[in-house]
Structure 1
C-alpha cells in the first residue's frame, strides 16, 4: 500500500513537472509571438511611411510648377495694380493740392460760439 502511495505521489510529481514545462513553453511561445508581431508591425509602419513619403513627393513635384506660375501671375497683377494706383495718384495730385490750398486760404475768422455767449 505504501508503495502504491509513493508511486501515486511520484506520478503526480511527474505530472506537475510536465505541466510546468508546458506552461513554460506556452510563455515562451507567447513572448515569441509578441516579438514577431512587433517586428511585423514595425515593417508595415516603415512600408506605409515610405509609401506616404513617395506620395507626398509626387504631390509636391506636381504642384511645384503651379506654385511658381501662380507666383509669377500674382507678381504681374501686383505690378499692374501699382501702376494703376500711381497713374491715378498723378492725375488727382494737382486737384487735391488745389483743393487743400483753397480750403486753407478761405478761412473766415469769427468768434467761437462759447465766446459769443460770454460777451452777450
Structure 2
C-alpha cells in the first residue's frame, strides 16, 4: 500500500507542477497581452492626438486668415481716415494758425462767474 500511496503522491506532485506551469504560462500570457494592449492604446492615443493637432492647426490657419483680412480692411480704413484728416488739416491750416495767433496776441479777457 505504501508503494501505491507513494505513486499517488508522486502523481499529485507531478500534477501540481504541471498546474503551476500552466498558471505561470497564463500569467505570462496575461502580462504579454496587457503590454500589447497598453502599446496599442498608446498608438491610438498618439494617432488621435496627431489628428486633433492637425484639426487645430487647420482651424487656427483659417481663423488667422480671417483675422488678417479684417486687419487689412481696418488698416485701409484707418489710412483713409488719416489721409482725410491730414487733407482737412492742410486745407484749414492757415486759418487755424491765424486764429491761434489772433487769440494769443489779441486776448479778450472774460471775468469769472459771468
Unaligned 5+ residue runs, structure 2?
108-114
In the other structure, the counterpart of 1:50 is 54
Matched, 1:59 2:63: yes
Aligned length: 103
Find the aligned partners of 1:10 and 1:40 in 2 and give their Cα distance.
Answer: 45
Find the aligned partners of 1:35 and 1:82 in 2 and give their Cα distance.
Answer: 68
Per the normalisation by structure 2, the TM-score is 0.73
In the other structure, the counterpart of 2:111 is none
Matched, 1:9 2:16: no
In the other structure, the counterpart of 1:29 is 33
Unaligned 5+ residue runs, structure 1?
104-120
- CA-atom RMSD in angstroms: 2.2
1:98–1:63 distance in 2 versus 1, CA, 3 Å: closer
